[in-house]
Amino acid sequence: MFGFIGNIGPWELMLILLVAVIVVGPGKLPDVARGMGKAMGEFKRATSGVRKEFDDIMKAEMNPTKSVVNKVPESEEYQVDIDALNEENPNDQQKDE
């Protein structure tokens, strides 16, 4: 419950309550305690929303993604017959004559 404060014993707690009664007064102490309780509840709600968003983002980042599969087939080696190409496109032939 008081993990963020540390180890508070009964004597320390009574000293804190005594100081609170002296500073605030016995009549307003319940109102102050109620206000602090509401503030702590609101803080917990706000931090739990942020924590949930952070956890969701971290889970999305940690999930393994599908690996990309190379869908392009392996290129087959082939030889181009230059003479056959020249016969098909006679205008592209170089004129050495």
Using one digit for the tens of pLDDT, what is the confidence trace for 68-77?
A: 565 665 666 6
The yes-or-no verdict on residue 81 having pLDDT over 50 is: yes
Question: What are the tens digits of pLDDT across the range 6-62?
Answer: 677 888 888 988 898 898 888 888 898 899 999 999 999 888 888 888 888 888 777
Task: Report the distance separating Cα 51 and Cα 53, nearest Å.
Answer: 5
The domains of the chain are located at 26-62
Going by the DSSP 8-state scheme, the letter that residue 93 receives in this structure is S
Distances (CA, A) of 42 to 3, 30, 47: 19, 18, 9
* HSE (side-chain half, CA atoms, 13 Å) at 61: 6
Helices (H) and strands (E) in the chain, counts: 3, 0
User: Looking at this protein, which amino acid is placed at residue 14?
Assistant: M
